[in-house]
Amino acid sequence: MKIDRVKLAMIMAKERINITELSKKARVSRATISYAKAGRTVSIEMAAKLAVALNVGLDEIIDKTAQEQEKTV
């Protein structure tokens, strides 16, 4: 599942949280967050952990364009 890089960066800025803090709060590695911020695919479990840590719904951080493209392939 791809995370929307722009949305993730905006939410992190709004929450005033950096990668290290988010990794601790979400209990995922900093590398996982870096992958998400770089537009790489992460598991749905990791995406859900990020959403919970950021106090947003999963639908608020996923890249819906990439998700739609996966459905048509």
Please give the backbone phi and psi of residue 33, each rounded to the nearest 5 degrees, phi first: -70, -40
In this prediction the pTM is: 0.83
Averaged over 62-70, what is the pLDDT?
Answer: 70
Query: pLDDT tens digits, residue range 53-62?
Result: 999 999 999 9
> For all residues of the chain together, what is the average pLDDT?
89
Place of tokens 């951080």: 61
Above pLDDT 90, what percent of the chain?
Answer: 73
- Spatial contact of 22 and 12, defined as CB atoms under 8 Å apart: yes
Distance CA 31, CA 55 (A): 21
Beta bridge partners of 14: none
- Kindly list the structural domains of the chain, giving each domain's residue range(s) and its CATH number in brackets, ordered by start: 5-60 (1.10.260.40)
